[in-house]
Structure 1
Amino acid sequence: MAGIDQPSSWWTPERYADRRPYLAARRAITAATRAWFAEQGFAEVESGILQVSPGNETHLHALRTEVTGTDGERAIRYLRTSPEFACKKLLTAGEQKIFEFARVFRDRERGDLHLGEFTMLEWYRADATYDAVMADSVVITAGAAQATGIGRFSFRGRTADPFVEPELMTVAAAFERFAGIDLLATIADGGGDRARLAAAARGRVRISDDDTWSDIFSKVLVEHVEPNLGQGRLTILFEYPVPEAALARVKASDPRVAERFELYACGVELANGFGELTDPGEQRQRFRASMDEKQRRYGERYPLDEDFLDAVGEMPEASGVALGFDRLVMLASGAQQIDQVLWMPPSGEA
């Protein structure tokens, strides 16, 4: 029994009552989203949680476990940080339009908008440009608001109407507008010119001697750009510079940028989408560079999923999106903390 000065556990009816309206909203949004995907002819998939590789991005941290076979042989596995690798293998196998409500896990993540265990809604369209999944993202976001009847999103003093036409802004335009930086002038030979970006950003963000081009880019993005996005209406930020391409293909008409976008509402990033890279050699090179940087920074690296790289080489042209479902529910339900829209608090928190 909880002491007099200690809060009761989350499952006491009195405390759980505060969570019920947000959970009702979550059920409504989940049902509406599934119905929309069914109308569009998508197949819902369920991919595995244990993976050979959890992803190969520098700042992505995974939970590791060990499995033992019937022969006693032990092997390292990771809890997935995204269902992306598995979903792309399914595209190679012949699936055309798929989605998944995926439970994913990330270490070193806990904050107002970050959870170590959360729900990622991912979907993919074969033979479709990333304009198509941009449009999907807007429709799904508006559908969530319609399911709850909220009308407008409101979060920390910012509002956004998900039913009006979204603002479209390139990353370069956003850096120029909100930070006064000519971002594309710092791109050269398929990479970032660290010295040039540092000079342009000095006085705007704090720069450390060991900050890379990507570090400085992220600081400017977080401190000067993101707070201004999704104000009054949704914002689609697109054409990310090539050092931030991740698993996106380079834009054919401008090799300085990639077919990557993010969707924002009230300064909150909701979704991250790509025109998918289908060159396994380029993908391998990017992964290795990211793992070299992870080794330098954190003293660890994750293996490459060779099966995934083989599949990428056979994958059709495609586009896909990862959307933070808990964040969407938070905005569409009127919650002000991400914990409020979870069925139960994060593990270990009452």
Structure 2
Amino acid sequence: MSWQPSMNWPHAKQRAQVLGQIRAFFLARNVIEVETPILAHATVTDAHLDAFVTHYNYSQDSHCDESINLFAQTSPEFAMKRLLASGYGCCYQICKAFRHEEQGRYHNPEFTMLEWYRIDFDHFQLMDEVAALIELILGCDQAERISYQALFIREVDIDPLMTNKEQLIALISSRGKLSYWLEKEDSLDTLLQFVMAELIEPNIGKNAPCFVYNFPASQASLAKISSQDLRVAERFECYFKGIELANGFHELTDAKQQKLRFEQDNAIRAQLGKAKHRIDENFISALEHGLPSCAGVALGIDRLIMLALSASKIDQVITFSIANA
């Protein structure tokens, strides 16, 4: 282990320049920078996301000899939507986020996230703005757009909205990627996500950013279901040069529907042998009060800077990785 930083001084200066460009981009659009807490009383229920947890002994609701759990936030999403529900306008945040996951070429458990929300935007308008920011920072060609359904048909000749397990297993097997756990997997979404990650993502966004939109409704997360096609959600992701850069939604504003999705997440967590997470009631209360119609997106700053600096791994654009933090 070295005490020295993994990012050199020239890269540090270039990173600072990119952050300056981002702030200037939003200043010109009258999108206001905000800050929200890193620690919160609740976290996401997503079955595939795990948060870091710490203990706090000085809660008003407990004796000082007792502790409560506080969670390092996986993103500022819930807190920022609470701001919007309270009357805030279009806003963005550059912050630290934390996910209890393995370190890798494109991921450090502590990372920098850019998240922003645009009132009265849908996911197509937000894709335009994400593309403008990426093109500004990277000087790249104009982004491509393709629906999730059209992408699967083009790349693997399967309609993801009409497929079944047998068809997906046959596809995976024909590409030499089949393993025992996939044969035993009954979740179509898990199989679709595997196909996306292993067979499709390496082939898209090679020369220009690629926006994939209208994901299956079962992968909606916090996005609205399309009124034009109930099989899909108004969600998009952006890929460029093998890196997933951004994940955005035309945001769900219905509190009852959102709470039901959280409960469904917890049911999946239980099936996977994971602990259920308490639903964030502050967030649900904010939705009940009224979240304005909006679209929001989370973009990985470290990954964006990797592309801007032609870095081969995330360690080269952050001062200290988890290995020598």
TM-score, normalising length: structure 2: 0.92
Which residue does the alignment assign to 1:78? 71
Output the aligned Cα RMSD. 1.8
Classify 1:290/1:341 alpha carbon distance in 2 versus 1 (closer, same or farther; 3 Å). Answer: same
Give how far 1:197 is off.
4.6
- Are the counterparts in 1 of residues 238 and 244 from structure 2 also a CA contact under 8 Å? yes
2:234 pairs with one of 259, 272, 283: 259
Which residue does the alignment assign to 1:340? 316
Match status 1:99 vs 2:76: no
* 1:297-332 CA-partner distances (Å, limit 9, x unpaired): 142121100110121231011100000000000100
Counterparts of 2:75 and 2:106, CA distance in 1: 17
Give how far 1:49 is off.
0.7
Which residue does the alignment assign to 2:267? 292
1:183 pairs with one of 160, 168, 185: 160
* 1:51-74 CA-partner distances (Å, limit 9, x unpaired): 122212110011011111264152
Number of equivalenced pairs:
316
Match status 1:69 vs 2:65: no
Give how far 1:84 is off.
0.2
**Alignment map for 1:108-187 (pairs within 5 Å):** 108-145=101-138, 151=139, 162=140, 164-186=141-163
Runs of at least 4 residues of structure 1 off by over 4 A?
Answer: 193-202
Counterparts of 1:202 and 1:137, CA distance in 2: 36
Q: What amino acid sits opposite 1:263 in the alignment? A: C
Counterparts of 1:96 and 1:109, CA distance in 2: 36
Q: What amino acid sits opposite 1:203 in the alignment? A: S
Which residue does the alignment assign to 1:190? none
2:146 alignment partner, SS class = strand
Q: What amino acid sits opposite 2:149 in the alignment? A: A
1:208 alignment partner, SS class = helix
Match status 1:321 vs 2:321: no
- Are the counterparts in 1 of residues 215 and 232 from structure 2 also a CA contact under 8 Å? yes
- Are the counterparts in 1 of residues 213 and 236 from structure 2 also a CA contact under 8 Å? yes
- Are the counterparts in 2 of residues 49 and 104 from structure 1 also a CA contact under 8 Å? yes
1:53 pairs with one of 42, 61, 68: 42
- Are the counterparts in 2 of residues 54 and 82 from structure 1 also a CA contact under 8 Å? no
TM-score, normalising length: structure 1: 0.85
- Are the counterparts in 2 of residues 29 and 143 from structure 1 also a CA contact under 8 Å? no
1:115 alignment partner, SS class = coil
Counterparts of 1:329 and 1:199, CA distance in 2: 38
- Are the counterparts in 1 of residues 95 and 114 from structure 2 also a CA contact under 8 Å? yes
Give how far 1:295 is off.
2.2
- Could you tell me which runs of 5 or more consecutive residues in structure 2 were left unpaired when the two chains were aligned: none
Which residue does the alignment assign to 2:257? 282
1:120 alignment partner, SS class = strand
Q: What amino acid sits opposite 1:97 in the alignment? A: C
**Alignment map for 1:222-233 (pairs within 5 Å):** 222-233=197-208
